[in-house]
């Protein structure tokens, strides 16, 4: 495996409205690198959902995107409360988002399912009281 | 059919974006994650949401335009973000239902051509 391009972002947990900045940046970078619109859409949507999750549930976190010749890897890490039941959280429609978040149009219980749908592989490691790490890969 | 074709037909107020963008279909919804997984490139998205996340979702899905319906008004920072990201924001006083019905009519007309 040759050296990967790496993009690092800090996701601000205080500012809900700026969520999406990292995914917008990644979208722009991938476009400059000449990836197809489909790949760009999948990576940026998966990353945006992850960003929103980190802002809503974990007070922010960090996001790294690695561009390899064979895939694009998105690594999201936070020090939030962790996910009690990952299998349940992966179910469409299951959400623990507060009402103020729902009023903004989120909290439909689609975040993690969308991340899985749009990527070729996804692993979730979560420990209560420690945090959550999600690794997603999109084949190119 | 382009954005500039639907603006006069639907009586829309255009705030930002590219009037020459082609519209291939229409999607209606307010739950942003749902919209993100279902709205397609080049569609016209009709919603009552007007917060800044609408701009992010429109940009990520690369829809042709967003009609913010039923008199909802985005704040100035939302309009600024839309301009910066090249997202086409359109405003209407009409209900989502009537806008969707009109869009269905226009798209049908276009297909018949």
Domain spans in chain A, listed from the N-terminal domain onward: 5-139
Q: How far apart are CA A89 and CA B50, in angstroms?
A: 28
**Contact status of A23 with chain B (Cβ, < 8 Å):** yes
Task: Give A9-56 pLDDT, tens digit per residue.
Answer: 999 887 777 778 889 899 999 999 999 999 999 999 999 999 999 999
Q: Give the nearest chain B residue to A49 (CA atoms).
A: B33
Domain range enclosing B56: 3-112
Question: Looking at the partner chain, which of B32, B37, B61 has a beta carbon nearest the beta carbon of A105?
Answer: B32
Chain B residues in contact with A23 (beta carbon < 8 A): 56, 60
Closest CA to B67 of B87, B46, B48: B46
| Residues β-bridged to residue A65 | A7, A74
Residue B49 has phi, psi (to 5 degrees) of -75, 145
ipTM of the complex, rounded to two decimals: 0.78
Give the containing element (helix H, strand E) for B8: helix B3-10
Instruction: Give me the residue label for tokens 């996701």.
Output: A11
Domain A5-139 falls in which CATH fold?
A: Heat Shock Protein 90 (3.30.565)
Total number of domains in chain B: 1
The CATH number for B102's domain is: 3.40.1390.20
Burial class (CB in 10 A: 0-12, 13-18, 19+), A114: buried
Please write the tens of the pLDDT for every residue from B63-110: 999 999 999 999 999 999 999 999 999 999 999 999 999 999 999 998
């Amino acid at each position: 495996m040759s050296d990967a391009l790496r993009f690092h972002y800090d996701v601000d947990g205080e500012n809900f409205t700026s969520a999406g900045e990292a995914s917008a940046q990644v979208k722009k970078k991938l476009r400059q690198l000449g990836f197809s619109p489909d790949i760009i859409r999948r990576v940026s949507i998966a990353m945006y959902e992850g960003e929103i999750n980190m802002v809503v549930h974990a007070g922010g976190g960090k996001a790294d995107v690695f561009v390899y010749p064979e895939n694009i890897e998105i690594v999201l890490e936070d020090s939030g409360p962790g996910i009690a039941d990952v299998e349940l959280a992966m179910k469409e429609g299951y959400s623990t988002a507060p009402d103020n978040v729902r009023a903004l149009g989120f909290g439909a219980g689609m975040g993690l399912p969308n991340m899985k749908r749009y990527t070729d592989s996804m692993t979730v490691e979560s420990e209560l009281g420690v945090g959550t790490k999600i690794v997603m890969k999109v084949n190119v | 059919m382009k954005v500039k074709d639907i603006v006069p037909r639907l009586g829309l107020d255009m705030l930002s974006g590219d009037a020459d963008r082609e519209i291939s279909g229409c999607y209606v919804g307010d739950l942003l994650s749902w919209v993100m997984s279902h709205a397609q490139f080049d569609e016209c998205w009709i919603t009552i949401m007007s917060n800044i996340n609408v701009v992010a979702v429109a940009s990520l899905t690369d829809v042709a335009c967003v009609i913010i319906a039923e008199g909802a008004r985005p704040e100035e920072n939302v309009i600024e973000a839309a301009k910066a990201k090249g997202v086409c924001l359109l405003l209407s006083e009409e209900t989502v239902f009537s806008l969707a019905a009109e869009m269905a009519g226009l798209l049908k007309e276009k297909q018949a051509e």
